[in-house]
Amino acid sequence: MKTDPKSKADLSAQIAKAIRDAIIEGRMIVDERLPSEAELSEQFNVSRPTVREALKRLAAQSLIRTQRGAFGGAFVNRLSYEEAYGQHITTSTLLLSMNGVNFDVACEARYALERACTPMAAARRDPDHLATMRAEIHRQAQPGLSDEGFCASDVTFHRALVDAAGNPVLSYQLAGAVEAMQPLMNMITFTARSRGEIVTLHTRIADAIEARDADAAEIALRELETYTLHLGRDVMAARAQNS
């Protein structure tokens, strides 16, 4: 496990990279124990705090987990879907918000990806996913629901649609696209009329998925994209006028 002194990075970053590479390249396998902090500081010829900083970097990426006590230490962590979701969503959300990504662009990406799932979702949907979709549609029709609640329910609905495709890799990849849109969607004030429109489209999507009619689902999804785009543009226009 060698570090590259040429790079001008911090020692802790170099050490983290060396260990990370070992994990990525399979030289360290899942659940394998890393040397103790004291041993690592000897191996890399640095102090223990420096080693610890390196380990914290890896822990932040869920590449390792640590356990205290005798026979504890740092272990290569099996990256779970849940952890990966979290990482992906955080990164996606910040990427969009920090770079002032256009609502249209984000919207286009999200719906394009989502449409890619519909054929599989229509073919493989099981009662659980349908039940979730129906439940969320019902919630979205409640008059007392806040805008944030409406958006959150929208995300749950669409994630159920994606999950219905029965491909966990696809679900993981789309989690970022769907969830990262939420802050942008939260800027929209949903009137009773727009909620009604969305609920209608959601119902059409759920019906199409239940009927295993991929084409109908895709068409409804495309209409939903168009409608969402309009709502977003209205908000942007109103905002531009106020400033």
Partner DNA sequence: TGCCTTTAAAATGTCAGACATTTAAATGTA
Partner DNA sequence: TACATTTAAATGTCTGACATTTTAAAGGCA
203 binds, among its own copies, DNA, none (CB under 5 to 8 A by kind): none
Number of Cβ atoms within 10 Å of the Cβ of 243: 4
Residue pair 178/158 in contact by the 8 Å Cβ criterion: yes
Q: Is 120 in the site for its own copies (CB under 8 A)?
A: yes
- Residue 229 CA to chain centroid, in angstroms? 21
Q: Pick from 3, 14, 16, 232: which binds its own copies (CB under 8 A)?
A: 16
Cα-flanking dihedrals φ and ψ of residue 32, to 5°?
Answer: -70, 145
What lies within 8 Å, CB to CB, of 198 at 6+ separation is: 140, 154, 190, 224, 227
Among its own copies, DNA, none, what does residue 112 contact (CB within 5–8 Å per kind)? Answer: its own copies
91 interacts with its own copies by CB under 8 A = yes
Q: Find which of its own copies, DNA, none residue 28 binds, CB within 5 to 8 Å per kind.
A: none
- CA dist., res. 229 & res. 235, Å (int): 10
Q: Does 151 bind DNA (CB under 7 A)?
A: no
Q: Does 45 bind DNA (CB under 7 A)?
A: yes
The answer to whether residue 177 forms part of the interface with its own copies (CB under 8 A) is: yes
Positions touching DNA (CB under 7 A) are 10-12, 34, 36-38, 45-50, 52-53, 55, 66-74
